[in-house]
Amino acid sequence: MTSFFLLIFVKKKAMINAVRNTVLAILNKNNYGYISPSDFNLFAKQAQLDIFDEYFIGYNTQVNQENGRVSGTGYADIKKGYEEVIDTFSLTNSLGNFNSNLYYAPSASTTGSDYYLINKVLIYKTITSSGATTQVNGGNFLINANATFQSDGVSVGDTVSVSLTPGIVSNLTVVAIPAENQIQINSSVLITTGIDYAIYKSSNLVNEAEQVNHSKITMLNKSLLTAPNITFPSYTQEGDLLTLYPNNIVSVGRVVSQYIRYPQDPKWTYVSLTGGQPIFDQSQSDYQDFELPPDDVNNLVSRILQYAGMSIREIAAVQFGQSIEQQENQEQ
C-alpha cells in the first residue's frame, strides 16, 4: 500500500510539490477528504519541525552510545549522516548590540534567522581600529578624520563591522587604503556620517565565552581572580538578550555567534484558475521548499497525513500515516 509513494522520484527543487501531490492522492484515493493549501502549509511546517527535532535526538543518542562504548563501527555512518544534515543549518554571524554589553541573540530581525541552538559565543581578542564616520564619499569609502588606519595596521582583506541599523551588524571588507584616514570597502552603504565601525583581522584569534547562570556570574565578579576578562569571557542569557562579561565588550561586531537556525517555514504557492483547482507556482515571492533532505519525503508525507487526519477527524488517515511511519522506522 505504501509503495504508492515510496517510489516517487523527488527533486529537491520541487520537494514540497511532490509531497503535496502524494498527500492529496492518498486522501482522494481513500476518500479521506481534502485539505486546502493553507492547511497543507500549516501541517507541512509542523511536520518539518518534528523531523528537524528528531535529527538532534538521533544525534545525541549516537553520541551517548559512543561515550558509553555501546555503539559499533557501523554507527559512525549514522552519526555522520545526522551531522551532515545539522551542518546545513549551521551559521556564524556577528551579534548586534542592544545597549552597552547587552547583545541580541540571533533572530530573523537581527541576523536573518531565528536560532534553534546556540553552539558558541566568540569574542575577538583585539580590535585593529574603531570609531565613527565623519564624512561621506560615494558610500564605499569609510572616512574618519581622526583615524590612523595605516598606522593602526589596517590592511586589504580586513573585516569592517558597521551598524547601519540598530541591533544589526553588517560585515564588509577592506579593498583599498587610499589615505591614513580613509579606507575603501566592497559595498556602497556608508551614506551618512556618525556610523560606528570596528575593524578586525581575519587572522585574529577569538576566545569562546562560557555561558553561566546569573548566580554564578555574581560570584565570579566578586573577585579579581575569577572575574571574566577578554581571555576568559563569559555571558548570561535572558530571553533573547545576551550579557557579555567583562562589561567593556561593546564594540560593533566583536561578538560572534555560531548557532543552528530553524528551517524556513515551507510554503506551497499557487495561482488560481477560474473555476479550477490551485496550480503550483514556485515563482511566487513567498515560495519556500522544504529544507530537509529528499530522503525525508516519506516521513513528511506520513506526518502531514497524520495532522490532516486529525484536522478532518478522519482516524483512518491518521492510522495510514502512522503505518507509513512505522514502516519507515523498520526499514531504517
Give yes or no: residues 78 and 170 share one domain: no
Taking each continuous run of H as one helix and of E as one strand, the counts in the chain are 8, 16
Give yes or no: residues 120 and 212 share one domain: yes
Give yes or no: residues 66 and 99 share one domain: no
Reply yes or no on whether the pLDDT at 255 is more than 70: yes
Give yes or no: residues 178 and 58 share one domain: no
- pLDDT value, residue 7: 41
Domain C-terminal end among 165, 185, 200:
200
* Across 232-236, 263-267, 307-311, least confident range: 307-311
Other Cβ atoms less than 10 A from the Cβ of 131: the count is 17
Quote the cell numbers at residue 18.
511532490
Give yes or no: residues 140 and 170 share one domain: yes
CA distance 252 to 248: 12
Reply yes or no on whether the pLDDT at 321 is more than 60: no
Full residue range of the structural domain in which residue 163 is found: 129-200
Q: What is the DSSP letter of 192?
A: S
- pLDDT value, residue 5: 45
pLDDT per position as a tens digit, 63-108: 887 776 665 555 567 788 899 999 999 999 999 999 999 999 999 9
pLDDT per position as a tens digit, 10-57: 554 689 999 999 999 988 887 777 889 999 999 999 999 999 999 999
CA distance 48 to 296: 9
Give yes or no: residues 99 and 248 share one domain: yes
pLDDT per position as a tens digit, 193-243: 999 999 999 777 789 999 999 999 999 999 989 999 999 999 999 999 999
Give yes or no: residues 121 and 210 share one domain: yes
What are the Cα distances from residue 59, in Å, to 77, 81, 83, 300?
11, 9, 7, 19
Spatial contact of 261 and 255, defined as CB atoms under 8 Å apart = no
Pairing of strands 159-165, 168-179: antiparallel
Domain C-terminal end among 155, 185, 200:
200
Residue 112 falls in which region: left (phi positive, over 0), alpha (psi -120 to 50) or beta? left
DSSP 3-state of 258: strand
- pLDDT value, residue 212: 97
Share of residues in the chain with pLDDT > 70 (%): 86
Query: In total, how many domains does the chain have?
Result: 3
Give yes or no: residues 118 and 224 share one domain: yes
Give yes or no: residues 143 and 121 share one domain: no
pLDDT per position as a tens digit, 136-172: 999 999 999 999 999 999 999 999 999 999 999 999 9
CA distance 79 to 284: 37
Domain C-terminal end among 261, 284, 301:
261
Give yes or no: residues 110 and 149 share one domain: no
Peptide bond into 293 cis (omega under 30): no
Give yes or no: residues 325 and 181 share one domain: no
Reply yes or no on whether the pLDDT at 296 is more than 90: yes
What are the Cα distances from residue 236, in Å, to 92, 169, 211, 218?
19, 21, 6, 11
Give yes or no: residues 62 and 211 share one domain: no
CA distance 108 to 122: 20
Q: Measuring CA to CA, which residue among 280, 277, 304 is closest to residue 41?
A: 304
